[in-house]
Amino acid sequence: MNIRAQVSMVFHLDKCIGCHTCSVACKNIWTDRKGTEYMWWNNVETKPGTGYPTLWEDQDRYQGGWERDENGKLKLKLQGRARGLGNLFANPALPTLDDYYEPWTYQYDELFNAPEGDDQPTARPVSLITGKHMDIEAGPNWDDDLGGSPVYAVNDPNLEGLSDTEREQLNELERMVFFYLPRICNHCVNAACVAACPAGAIYKRGEDGIVLLNQDNCRAWRMCISGCPYKKTYYNWSTGKSEKCILCYPRLESGHAPACFHSCVGRIRYLGALLYDADEIEAAAAVPDAELVQAHRDLIKDPFDPEVIAAARANGVPEAMLEAARNSPVYKFVKTWGLALPLHAEYRTLPMLFYVPPMLPILAAQKDGVYDIAGADAIGGPPTFSTLEKARVPIRFMASLFSAGNEDVVAEVYAKLLAVRTYMRSQKVGDVDPTELETTLARGGTNPEEAEAIFRLTAMPTFDERFVLPPLGRDDAVEATVDPYTARSHAGFGTRKPPERRW
Amino acid sequence: MGWIQDLVDPKTRRWEEFYRNRWQHDNAVRSTHGVNCTGGCSWMVYVKDGIITWEMQATDYPLLEDSVPPYEPRGCQRGISASWYVYSPIRVKYPYMRGPLMDLWRAARAEHENPVDAWGSIVEDETKRARFQKARGKGGFRRTDWDEVLEVISASLLYTARKWGPDRVFGFSPIPAMSYLSYAAGSRFLQLFGGVNMSFYDWYADLPNAFPEIWGDQTDVCESADWYKSKYIVAMGSNLNMTRTPDVHFISEARHEGTKFTVIAPDFNQVAKYADWWIPVTAGQDTALWMAVNHVILKEFHADRQVPYFIEYLKKYSDSTHLVRLEPDGDTYGAGRYLRANLIDRYRDVENGDWKLLMWDAKSGPKMPKGSVGFRWGEELGKWNLTLEDGLDDTPIDPELTFLETHDAVLQVGFHEFASGKSARRGVPVRYVETSEGRVPVATVYDLLMAQFGVGRGLAGDYAKSFDDADAPYTPAWQEQFTGIGRETVLRLAREFADNAEVTNGKSMIIIGASINHWYNNNLAYRAPITSLILCGCCGVNGGGMNHYVGQEKLTLVSPWTSLAFALDWQRPPRQQQSPTWHYVQSDQWRYDSEFTDYDAVPPDAKWAKGHAMDLAAKAVRMGWMPFYPQFDRNPLELVEEAKAAGAEGKDAVAAHVVDRLKEGEIGLSVDDPDAEENWPRIWLIWRGNAILSSAKGHEFFLRHYLGTHDSIIAEEAAAGKVKTVVWREPAPRGKMDLVVDINFRMDTSALYSDIVLPTATWYEKNDLNTTDLHSFVHPLSQAVPPVWESKSDWDIFKALAKKVSELAPETFPEPVTDLVARPLMHDTPDELSQMEVEDWREGDCEPVPGKTFPHLFLVERDYSQIYDKFRSFGPNVRADGITGNGVHIPIEKFYDELLENPVGGTPDPRRLRCVEWGGNRYPALEDALDAANLLLRLAPETNGEVAYEAFKAEEERIGLPLADLAEGNRSVRMTFADLKAQPRRTLVSPCWTGIVNDGRPYAAWCINVERLVPWRTLSGRQHLYVDHPYYIDFGEHLPTFKPKLDPRATGDIGLSSTDGPALVLNYITPHGKWHIHSTYYDNLRMLTLSRGIEPCWINDKDAASIGIEDNDWVEVYNDNGVMVTRAAVSARVQPGTCMVYHSPERTISIPKSQVRGGRRGGGHNSLTRTRINPVLLAGGQAQFTYGFNYWGPIGVFTRDTYAVVRKLEKLEW
């Protein structure tokens, strides 16, 4: 066993309101500079939809992530097709500005400075790149809330396999649906960006697994951009260095949750440590699609298991990290309860951000211009919740996102989520038929104790219960270069070293 | 750490300081945003090298009960973008004046020694006046300095007061709760001057009229944590994810605890995604759906089977047991007034007997319960409570809810149904009562309600045969034709809702908002679901009730704030204007309106419900129902001088003199001739709001008639010959306003169209207070950096203006003057007992008696040289008068005296209070916003536990029941501004409010009423299912009813606008949006980037295809009122036949020229709207139907009833 620790994440999509506060929190602090305007280390997408950059999930086009060859071996998809160095200088899978958007601002000064005229002045949009007037045709969140869009929603790559009729139904009121998918760097265990970088500028931090892109070493090959199937590294056109989500390590190191986590007003985010066995990475990433979720779960090790603890200690994982792993809300959602799933496991990067899929309203039927509940059988009695069969959730679509197509895995999650609600109603109101309760719990593969625990962590958590930050002992890291005793009295003096960059 | 070296050695990672350096900062200061969003979120503002860099949410809210999830974090995508504004290119950094005015001013100043004369020389010259008016909004701003702008403004104010009267000076600033002191600075200045504050909550159409109608309260709702207490939540017209962003987590958390969540909304929107069940009602037809829900509840949970909890609740807390007279009407009867107590022998001589009502005691017949408004304003204290006891001898009453089993007769009563225009006859069980007017039949409200909803209970008449009886009004089958929702859905909704209320004792809740309240018949749209809630015992219960969230109206510290803001510490009354009627009249939109019966349904043979709304508006003013300023066609200062010269001494004599001259026709009411120049508003001060666009229903009419600049109206005038009492003048005046001043930190549309723009501090550069309905904390806005460039806080701006006016005043007003202030009959005062009947003195029904059948007339002394000193000190009147909030009076003598013990002078302090001395007297200081903040915190029962205790003690006397125990545990609590900066503080239980928040219990409305038997502030003291105001009976709204959606062909929006070619006429809806709060943040680059760089027009995919529009195409959206040009967002989630432009884009950003209106730049969303008023909401003169600022009156409706043509823009031109 080669146990490593990683700061990992859960996003509970049922609670996501698509507000994008997370995106702005990140932008304000990290990417509000020349060259970074179009970078959204954190973005939120409307699903079904085409996302950012446009159609990023279309790996036939972008060649991101890993693939499993005939022999069951892993290789980077990009290199598999492009034959490595031959394409170093011409990387055809790179997204272009059109796949992102041309960042813009407005001529605000017109409102102050326009001379007296015969009509009202207005602030026209201008490009932040060329400074010239422009027509805005795309943005980082262009299909926001556009469920039912004939241009965007129906072209979601996850709808592959749906018939034309099924796709069209997504535009009918009684079936239409949308939900939100917030995305940051997944800080993958088997990160394709790291593997793709010819300069070796990307690394996974030993102490917490955060994937960083060294701003001194980056040589602008941009292989990371193609290699990352999630399109979460970005090229800074001003400095000539690529940049990516840093999971706010300066905040983590000083005891703060990352900005996007802190600011999540839907309270959907959880952060905590996971332990995994690095020796199993290659095998776990190479199983057939349908087994990927389980292999990923198996890779994550029980922090209470004495063998795991011993192996971790042997690897130098500090006690504080082990303690954090034992208290990790992420461990509970991912491993104990099996409710949180990796996004696009079939990319085989073993992402360490997991999602609890959203519940959605029940279907309806439309007849002679009148809209009614579908299957109006059980009218009356206590409120009934949506069931998977009746929910507006195309199960195949969810499986495409969260279980590499394995519909059983997603169905199990929904059954459990529904069981929790039913159990809680039975406890708080008492108007649930005992037989129905028993059946629902059994179908959800859960029991009262677990249901209560799931409810508490879902609905009641405080800030400190959502974010169990491992103390990152900076003393050791600092000591590698300067005695902390000295650092204490010298820190902050002098002018800062200007970065080696062009801006 | 050997394993790390396997991966990356720290030595090779020294570059990591690159990002670490960015995170470092010097300071983090707590503030919030004053933006009328209801969020009221606590934020930490980060400062690095003296520059504000970003903000992050504070997460240190104290927890409520253990059983409720935490509030943290609060703060949305908009709030977190606020720091963008501070140094942004749209920031107003200096004072600006438009070039033509500046040139005229400087030339006039060179000629005139006295600035007041200089101002007169400009505005008295029509050519000069037109010169700068026509330039409004069209560029040409020039930078100036504070000295110059303060002088221009002060001169114009003094000129106006001398020439026309101070009541020609108007100020608009919305929603004080978002920044208490920034609002109060301007209103305090205006009131000391004699100017007029314009209302906002009603103007924004945020005031839910059903709340005053039913509860006698402006609005009282639960905090968002209480949503979590509910077990069945229905959201309608309220896109919680979009507009209650920091609160909506409680919904999802409640769902995980087993709460069902149902959303009623026409489009599949963000909150529908959150729902278990989405009901896509046809836009604007929610009332029909809830009428059917009521039908089902009455049938299944009241008629077929009685739920003991529901029955007991109705008896104790509603008017359902009250007796209503049935009046003969042809061969049937009609429901009339409540039977008044003094009509029966036993109560013949009781005090205020007209204002005490009757129930039928099961043992002894008609009995007069305690709690009605007659007990509230009587000499006898201690009987204004909800105990079911006789008001005469305290004997218990066991009221009969229904006479079904005990009736003397069953009479056929007529019920009008507006959708079909038919009247039905239904049998109602009655008892006969011997009265001084003879033997009269009476029914209980409950039995009338059963009959109104067509629930027969075996009685004869036109009752519904079954739920499937589509011809019978209000059945589940009947509502399908309006709502498009099937009967099975309605049945299930009604049963789930009521079942849940039954098993939880009332924990079924409705969350409702703008998208319901902004329709013309908003009150009916609310009364229908509120009826369901009351029938199921849900109001006054944690987790239940009607929770309306639109504006940030909750001024938690209402009682001391009211005194501070309206300068009641120095003088009273203030001049407060009901804005919707005012704008309807003053911006001349009434001239384009036809008779309201052209588009609204009224009963046949109505007495008042007919004619032109303008005539009814004028009538309401002269009867003392509604305010209107200016008051008279004369300067009120001159009127007083004239009366005094004629020998009148004192208030009553001056009033009598004025009334006599009015009767003789020698002076007139301004409202009767609004287009005569002596009746125009002259100066408009705008601060904290976007009065010219964002809230300006009829924006283009503002441009034409207020500003006198260009507009895009093609509508024709329609009122000539239709108005009967109001003077019609030709042509309509253009450019009524002499001066428009905007105080702003961003160059928004209002700033762009104003004459002068003053730079103000942002929310991160000033000290202030903030509260909201959505949580129970009080937050500071506080200074992270001093105001940048030349900006000042609103407090300091108005203080500076007060100083300048006082300096310039002596030349214009060498002596103090006396002002005559008219004031309507007011809510929460003995005025509630003024008018039993609708009697118009102009029509000879009665004599005009000020304060009875005519507005009150008061005298107010004004010494213009003292305005500054009064502004900066808290005057002595409040020591004697006490403070008042929501009808509760609090004596504060001892607390005022404590304040006088503070030292004079020193520096502003977040912990300590100060005094000032002038004219030989000492006063609590209001020099600085910090002084004012601490003063409010010290005097408010919500932040000073001892004040709360004293206030409850005072209330006990009135109510006659124990209350002070509620505050006993809080007596030692005192909060200072410094405390609020350190950590959010939760406000305390207070008699000014109705929630009980002790021990972390979430705030829910009416809990004190239900648990402590404190009456609602209504006629009966109970919740009104029935309204017996004569106007309501005449308009057919005495019982909950359904009036159909207005016919777009009759409303006049699209008469002259071309609909030829590929174009569609669509219902134009402007709900609150995702990327801005009203117009704030709209121009913020963050939000524009995350949206589409513009606020598009959302349109259904099939509708779009039918007129050749594709996603992101440029489109023109227009009607006779104006035009906007934007782009299309195409989606099936929008209902066919509607289009949406989220409220409210700015016309400053990225607006091309319009082809349909002659190549002029397109306007804003309000270019398409127009103000109309629903005249039933003018009803006044009695009980809960008396005026209160932002409490009662028509709201600024018609936004949702607007129709527009949508077509592709032919050519993109800038």
Measured CA to CA, the distance from residue A387 to residue A384 in angstroms comes to 9
Q: How confident is the model at residue A503 (pLDDT cuts 50, 70, 90)?
A: very low
Residues B914/B905, Cβ–Cβ less than 8 Å: yes
B126: CB partners within 8 A, 6+ apart:
none
Residues B157/B189, Cβ–Cβ less than 8 Å: no
Q: Do B77 and A23 touch (CB under 8 A)?
A: yes
CA proximity to B188, closest of B808, B687, B555: B687
Q: Measured between alpha carbons, how far is residue A194 from residues A56, A218, B8, B9 in Å?
A: 19, 12, 13, 16
Residues B1170/B811, Cβ–Cβ less than 8 Å: no
Q: Do A139 and B1089 touch (CB under 8 A)?
A: yes
Q: Do B1093 and A139 touch (CB under 8 A)?
A: yes
Q: Do B256 and A431 touch (CB under 8 A)?
A: no
Q: Measured between alpha carbons, how far is residue B971 from residues B952, B962, B989 in Å?
A: 12, 16, 11
- Closest chain A C-alpha to B267 CA, distance in angstroms: 9
Beta-strand pair B1114-1119/B1203-1208 = antiparallel
Q: Measured between alpha carbons, how far is residue B469 from residues B281, B303, B769, B779, B1026 in Å?
A: 20, 18, 55, 54, 26
Measured CA to CA, the distance from residue B542 to residue A9 in angstroms comes to 35
B965: CB partners within 8 A, 6+ apart:
none
* Among the partner residues A214, A383, A430, nearest to B496 by beta-carbon distance: A383
Q: Chain B residue with minimal CA distance to A478? A: B10
pLDDT at res. A376: 46
Residues of chain B with Cβ-Cβ distance to A15 below 8 Å are 249, 252-253
Measured CA to CA, the distance from residue B1038 to residue B380 in angstroms comes to 31
Instruction: Give the containing element (helix H, strand E) for B789.
Output: none
- Closest chain A C-alpha to B544 CA, distance in angstroms: 14
pLDDT tens, A315-336?
999 999 999 999 999 999 999 9
Q: Is the pLDDT of residue A499 over 70?
A: no
Q: What is the DSSP letter of B754?
A: S
Measured in residues, chain A has a length of: 503
Q: Chain B residue with minimal CA distance to A136? A: B1093
Instruction: Give the containing element (helix H, strand E) for B188.
Output: helix B180-193
Q: Do A144 and B258 touch (CB under 8 A)?
A: no
Q: Do B1 and A206 touch (CB under 8 A)?
A: yes
* Among the partner residues A150, A317, A421, nearest to B1101 by beta-carbon distance: A150
pLDDT at res. A381: 57
* Among the partner residues A105, A146, A425, nearest to B1085 by beta-carbon distance: A105
B1148 lies within 8 A of chain A by CB: yes
pLDDT at res. B1: 28
Residues 827-846, chain B, touching A (beta carbon < 8 A): none
Residues B703/B137, Cβ–Cβ less than 8 Å: yes
CA proximity to B1000, closest of B542, B344, B510, B453: B542
* Helix residue ranges, H only, A403-447: 407-428, 434-443
Q: What is residue B979's three-state secondary structure?
A: helix
User: Beta partners for B922?
Assistant: B917
pLDDT at res. B721: 96
* Among the partner residues B256, B504, B1088, nearest to A421 by beta-carbon distance: B256
Tally C-beta pairs within 8 A across A and B.
Answer: 394
Question: For residue A274, what are its two tokens?
Answer: 């996971």
Residues of chain A with Cβ-Cβ distance to B80 below 8 Å are 21, 24-25, 28, 263
Q: Do B268 and A173 touch (CB under 8 A)?
A: yes
Query: φ and ψ at B741, to 5 degrees?
Result: -115, 130
A339: CB partners within 8 A, 6+ apart:
A333, A356, A413, A416, A417, A454
Measured CA to CA, the distance from residue A350 to residue A209 in angstroms comes to 12
Question: For residue B789, what are its two tokens?
Answer: 């460039």
Q: Chain B residue with minimal CA distance to A425? A: B258
Q: Do B1089 and A104 touch (CB under 8 A)?
A: yes
CA proximity to B229, closest of B479, B449, B507: B507
Question: For residue B45, what are its two tokens?
Answer: 């503002």
pLDDT tens, A475-486?
888 888 889 999
Residue B780 identity: P
Residue B534 sits at the vertex; the CA angle it makes with B531 and B540, to the nearest 5 degrees, is 135
Q: Is the pLDDT of residue A104 over 60?
A: yes
Residues B985/B61, Cβ–Cβ less than 8 Å: no
Residues 1104-1143, chain B, touching A (beta carbon < 8 A): 1110-1112, 1129-1135
Interface with B, mutate which of A6, A17, A421 (most B CBs under 10 A): A17
Measured CA to CA, the distance from residue B200 to residue B218 in angstroms comes to 12
Q: What's the start-to-end Cα distance of chain A, in Å? A: 46
Measured CA to CA, the distance from residue A93 to residue A101 in angstroms comes to 17
Residue B323 identity: L
Q: Do B277 and A139 touch (CB under 8 A)?
A: no
pLDDT at res. B2: 32
Interface with A, mutate which of B14, B16, B1153 (most A CBs under 10 A): B16
Q: Chain A residue with minimal CA distance to B479? A: A370
pLDDT at res. B58: 98
B133: CB partners within 8 A, 6+ apart:
B707, B708, B709, B735, B737
**E-assigned strand segments in B970-1021:** 985-986
Using a 10 angstrom Cβ sphere, with 0-12 exposed, 13-18 middle and 19 or more buried, the burial of residue B117 is middle
Q: Do A496 and B21 touch (CB under 8 A)?
A: yes
CA proximity to B45, closest of B32, B61, B29, B59: B29
Q: Do A316 and B1 touch (CB under 8 A)?
A: yes
B3 lies within 8 A of chain A by CB: yes
**pLDDT beneath 50: ranges in chain B:** 1-6
Residues of chain B with Cβ-Cβ distance to A386 below 8 Å are 276-277
Interface with A, mutate which of B257, B297, B300 (most A CBs under 10 A): B257
**E-assigned strand segments in B501-557:** 508-512, 545-548
- Closest chain A C-alpha to B54 CA, distance in angstroms: 6
CA proximity to B1018, closest of B222, B317, B315: B317
3-state secondary structure string, B679-736? HCCCEEEEECCCCCCCCCCCHHHHHHHHHCCCCCCCCCCCCCCCCCCCCCCCCCCCCC
With tokens 């146990």, the residue in question is A3
Measured CA to CA, the distance from residue B1039 to residue A422 in angstroms comes to 39
Residues of chain B with Cβ-Cβ distance to A371 below 8 Å are 279-280, 484-486, 489
Q: How confident is the model at residue A15 (pLDDT cuts 50, 70, 90)?
A: very high
* Among the partner residues A19, A28, A172, nearest to B245 by beta-carbon distance: A19
Residues of chain B with Cβ-Cβ distance to A119 below 8 Å are 138, 710, 1153, 1160-1161
Measured CA to CA, the distance from residue B214 to residue B203 in angstroms comes to 20
Q: What is the mean pLDDT of chain A?
A: 91
Interface with B, mutate which of A112, A119, A254 (most B CBs under 10 A): A112
B143: CB partners within 8 A, 6+ apart:
B94, B95, B96
